[in-house]
Amino acid sequence: MNIKGKFLRFWRSDNEKISLIRDILVALMAVLIVLLLLWTYTGQWFAAPMVAIESGSMEHDNSPFGRFGTIDAGDMVLVQKVYSRDDLITHGGNFGGASETEDPNNFFYGDWGDVVIYKPLGRDDVSQIIHRLMCWVDVDTYGEKTTYTIAEYGVFNETSITISELGLQNSKPSWAHSGYLTMGDNNPHIDQKPGSSICPQPIKLSWISGKARLEIPWLGTINLFFEDLMGGKNTVSNVHEDSLICLGIVIVILVSIPVILDIKDYLKEKKNRLP
């Protein structure tokens, strides 16, 4: 018997053990195909192509029931790899950035500019942050004097910064290098504001794991649940009630489909047995 014949015999077999092996192989192939598609789109080869959202720092107050279109606790987002500054768009201010041009193609998750996932200070031993790129700051040091330039907000070679949109008021940061300033949509100030514990330094490109693409609502709650069990955290408590309701509906539908199909097959088989 040739290979094609053996495959057809295996595929059409009614033997219970062979059927079980066949179902497992089909499931594994489906998972592999999905992973290949995700890796191809995100560029995150053999790494996690998506992350679960733990906190509400990117939430919007006007989100509809189910919270579509914004990044909320319990959601998942794809992490698309970035290679250079040309791959990223900042929110910006009156002198540059996505918010000035208001290009609908640069509107992500309820506002303008890319949302990125980054490692605070480049560390691998702490949780990653998912916040919006607000602007780029150039840091220049001349002897003991350090000045800051944020061209998108009209700030040039200043030692103190006042930008109300970023929560800065006569702030004198101690930034050591140039990089991105980031902020959660639900936060009052940037992550790099003096005294903030999120990330005290501007974000280097090498710290960015990728930019967020394609919100997958609610399903990340399952991931958070198991992480809480293993890590002793309580991130599931950050997930809103409407998101939990929507997740429950999805689970019920997914569980019901094979049950309904089994009942349908049973009734069909019973009908065929009737005299």
- Determine contact, residues 191/121, Cβ cutoff 8 Å: no
pLDDT at position 273: 66
pLDDT at position 10: 64
Q: Are strands 161-163 and 168-171 parallel, antiparallel or unpaired?
A: antiparallel
pLDDT at position 141: 93
State the virtual CA torsion across 196, 198, 200, 204 in degrees, nearest 10: -150
Residues listed for the chain: 275
Evaluate if residue 1 carries a pLDDT over 60. no
| pLDDT bucket at 8, cuts 50 / 70 / 90 | low
pLDDT at position 174: 93
Give the mean pLDDT of 206-223: 95
pLDDT at position 266: 66
Distance CA 73, CA 220 (A): 8
pLDDT at position 249: 95
Beta bridge partners of 77: 51, 215
Answer with the residue of higher pLDDT: 60 or 3: 60
CA angle, residues 106, 209, 46, in degrees to nearest 5: 115
pLDDT at position 62: 82
Domain boundaries, the chain: 1-42, 50-136+181-235
10 Å CB burial of residue 66 (0-12, 13-18, 19+) is middle
pLDDT over 90 percentage in the chain? 67
Both tokens assigned to 274: 């009737």
pTM of the model: 0.86
Distance CA 186, CA 197 (A): 16
Evaluate if residue 142 carries a pLDDT over 60. yes
Average pLDDT, the chain: 90
Distance CA 203, CA 84 (A): 13
| pLDDT bucket at 18, cuts 50 / 70 / 90 | confident
**Each residue's pLDDT tens digit, 164-174:** 999 999 999 99
**Each residue's pLDDT tens digit, 177-199:** 999 999 999 999 999 999 999 99
- Determine contact, residues 37/27, Cβ cutoff 8 Å: no
Distance CA 191, CA 128 (A): 13
Evaluate if residue 40 carries a pLDDT over 60. yes
Distance CA 115, CA 112 (A): 9
**Each residue's pLDDT tens digit, 61-86:** 888 898 988 999 999 999 999 999 99
Beta bridge partners of 140: 147
Evaluate if residue 220 carries a pLDDT over 80. yes
Give the mean pLDDT of 98-126: 94
| pLDDT bucket at 6, cuts 50 / 70 / 90 | low
Distance of alpha carbon 15 from its chain centroid, rounded? 43
Give the mean pLDDT of 131-160: 96
